[in-house]
Amino acid sequence: MSATAPASANDAPRGYWCLRPAGLTLLVHRRGAWAGLLLTAMILAIATGSLSSGTIPLAETVAALAGIGDPVTLFMLHELRVPRLVAGLLSGAALGVGGCLLQTLARNRLATPGIIGIDDGATAFAVASIVAIPTSLAPPMLALMGAATAAALAFGLGGGGSRGYRFIVVGIAIGALFGAITNFMLARTDIDAANLAYPWTVGSLNARSATTVATLAACLAVCLPIAKMLGRDLQLLRFSDAIAIGLGTRLRRTRIAILIVTVFVTATAVAVAGPVGLVSLAAPEIARHLTGHRGVPVINSALAGAMLMIAADWVGRTAFAPVEIPVGVITAVVGGPYLLWILLREPRPGGG
Amino acid sequence: MSKGGARSSLRRTTAICAVMVALLMLASMLFGAGSITPLDSWHALLGRGSEESIFIVHELRWPRTILAIVVGIALGAAGTIMQAATRNPLAEPGLLGVSAGSSFAVVLAIYYGADAVGVHFGIAILGALAGCFLVLLTTQMRGAGTDPVRLVLAGAAFSSILMAVTTLILLHDQRTADEIRFWVIGALGGRPSSYLQWAFPGLIAGLAMVGATAAALAALSLGEKVAMGLGHRPVFTRVLAMTGVAVLVGTATATAGPIAFAGLIVPYFARRLVGPDVRRALPVALLIGPLILLLADILSRLAVRPYELPIGVVTACIGAPVLIAVVRSHRLPRL
């Protein structure tokens, strides 16, 4: 993305802007930037709608955000809705990035953390910490361990990610294994603890705690720049192994770096929101569509993921009020048919 | 291998499997999670011993053993026929979403208050039919039908949709949730004997259907044109085979809940033992199915005594490595 040759503002390649703040020269993909702005605008719109839904009118919401208004409204917004919105935005962004990276790694749009079993691994370990094994470790740490275990297994047994389909099917097997373990733990425990953990296993923004959200924010702050820096290698990964090596990628190192970043963002997101797997399938797809299938849209995937997550949460909260539908159910009901459609439509056999 | 040699090896394999099933049946009667020792169970089996041990062995373990055999036969045959009909070594009722369709139908039935056992069986078979229809539809798609992985992913997507709707129902209704929580994992214990009454007709009807298609499916493995040249009707064969699979899976699911991976493990071992011809693999699968299920059931009782593991967890633990082995083999075998 950076141009080293001295260039005037006019010789940016077609479709790019050339920016040079303070001695740096940056090329910005125009359509990508517009897509980012569009997604940001949509996020703002959905966030406003989500914050002011129900009994609070828009004007009061804005006032309350600035700290003016009656105590009930202030409490609702500052203690309930804003933290929930932040949790949704961050976890959606993390899932979007994770999906985008893993899809590129396996050269297959169906390879997302949810399908590979990373979500299941994180969930199994985190549920274990809630219902089965009392430990002093916080659920996010355990989710991270579970996600790392699942990813390492899928990566190792799946032939190092070089053959997409094998990676995916091995991932499905590992996901099934962890799913069985989660089910077993839920069945062993008493009904109260199971109910406590149940919405959590389908993905809900109810289960978040302030510290897990803070962990997620920190993780995103570290991982997003790394993912962006991996951008060039990511683009080369889309070619065959031989070409990517010929163009100077250290394949194995890049793959492992991508996998580690994916594990971190996915695990911390699962610790906040549970396995809302289909966000990581759809977000990169939307981002790629908006940016015109050029390169690997890491940032736009994050924005699209955040947008999907808060939109699904908003629908889940309001559609069947007063019963709240977990956000994972909404994404599965909407995203599942979409996944089927991708599968049945794609003309290339194997897709990877 | 000469034809006579192949036949005798088939016979020997069948005999060994039959002996192992008999031994496992005995083991299933003798070992359990409860406090009575295998020796007590042995006495109880012969009609002596304390009242408690006689009750446990005759009233709890015996029906459970029979159920394991029925479900094992149903899932083993269903998996074998499904792999032959879709020509896909990864085809399995659980992975392709047939079990999910079936169990979702039962969840719906329980939610709407239908608690007659016969209704559960009928509805489970209908749900499995819907799942099978989706599988057939997918295999007819251009490109998707010849790609084993895509079929599995379509099954996963279908299952995840149904899973989400199930969750939706469970969140609404606490009573259903408590009833279903154990059922959706798959278990053989604690089923009333009235289940057997319904399971047997389903099993026999399903087996008759898939048995009738075995020869045609073997011809289909040579390609559609060859099969038509040999006088078989490919479309009719596939539809009949998948209907039989639906009856078998529906019966198994209504009896024991969705038991993941059994339909994958059984044909894998059957093919290893007697080769890929479905006419030879099917009879062996009918023995390996109960063998695997009995083994998994005994393990599920002994692994975490005095508690029991749900059998679905055990089969998943056996099945996941098998699935990995299938995919890791040099190239994905085409059937």
Task: Write the CATH number for A338.
Answer: 1.10.3470.10
Partner-chain contact A177 B307, CB within 8 Å: no
- The Cα of A338 is separated from the nearest Cα of chain B by a number of Å equal to 9
Q: Residue B156 — pLDDT band, cuts 50, 70, 90?
A: confident
Is the pLDDT assigned to residue B190 strictly greater than 50? Answer: yes
Per-residue pLDDT tens for B13-35? Answer: 889 989 999 999 888 888 877 77
Per-residue pLDDT tens for A123-153? Answer: 888 888 777 666 566 777 788 888 888 888 8
Residue A229 maps to a domain: yes
Per-residue pLDDT tens for A24-58? Answer: 666 677 778 888 888 888 888 888 888 777 667 77
pLDDT: which is higher, A183 or B77:
B77
- The Cα of B144 is separated from the nearest Cα of chain A by a number of Å equal to 6
pLDDT of residue B74: 93
For B312, nearest residue in chain A (alpha carbons): A180
Residue A266 maps to a domain: yes
Partner-chain contact A198 B170, CB within 8 Å: yes
Residue A7 maps to a domain: no
Per-residue pLDDT tens for A194-211? Answer: 766 766 677 777 766 778
Residue A4 maps to a domain: no
Chain B residues within an 8 Å CB radius of A165? 149, 327, 332
Query: Per the structure block, which two tokens stand in for B282?
Result: 């099917």
State the first-to-last Cα distance of chain A, in angstroms, to the nearest integer: 26
Per-residue pLDDT tens for B157-166? Answer: 888 888 888 8
HSE, CB side, 13 Å, CA atoms: give it for residue B301. Answer: 21
Partner-chain contact B161 A184, CB within 8 Å: no
Is the pLDDT assigned to residue A6 strictly greater than 50? Answer: no
Please give the domain boundaries of chain B with CATH numbers for all domains. Answer: 3-328 (1.10.3470.10)
For A186, nearest residue in chain B (alpha carbons): B181
Chain A residues within an 8 Å CB radius of B182? 187
Partner-chain contact A115 B156, CB within 8 Å: yes
Chain A residues within an 8 Å CB radius of B310? 183-184, 187
Is the pLDDT assigned to residue A4 strictly greater than 60? Answer: no
Residue A352 maps to a domain: no
Partner-chain contact A343 B150, CB within 8 Å: yes
Instruction: Tell me how far apart the 2 most distant CA atoms of chain A are, in Å.
Output: 69
Q: Residue B289 — pLDDT band, cuts 50, 70, 90?
A: very high
Residue B312: count other Cβ atoms within 10 Å of its Cβ: 30
pLDDT of residue B64: 86
Chain B residues within an 8 Å CB radius of A337? 157, 161
Residue B230 vs residues A169, B210, B238: alpha-carbon distances, Å: 35, 19, 16
From the candidates B133, B136, B149, which should be mutated to test the interface with A, based on the most A CB atoms within 10 A?
B149
Query: Per the structure block, which two tokens stand in for A15?
Result: 């479709």
Residue A23 maps to a domain: no
Q: Residue B146 — pLDDT band, cuts 50, 70, 90?
A: low
A323 in contact with B, Cβ within 8 Å = yes
Q: How many domains does chain A have?
A: 1
Residue A39 maps to a domain: yes
A181 in contact with B, Cβ within 8 Å = yes
- Structural domain containing residue A102: 33-345
Is the pLDDT assigned to residue A348 strictly greater than 70? Answer: no
Is the pLDDT assigned to residue A5 strictly greater than 50? Answer: no
Residue A46 maps to a domain: yes
Average pLDDT, chain B: 82
Q: Residue A1 — pLDDT band, cuts 50, 70, 90?
A: very low
pLDDT of residue B180: 73
Burial class (CB in 10 A: 0-12, 13-18, 19+), A249: buried
Is the pLDDT assigned to residue B4 strictly greater than 60? Answer: no
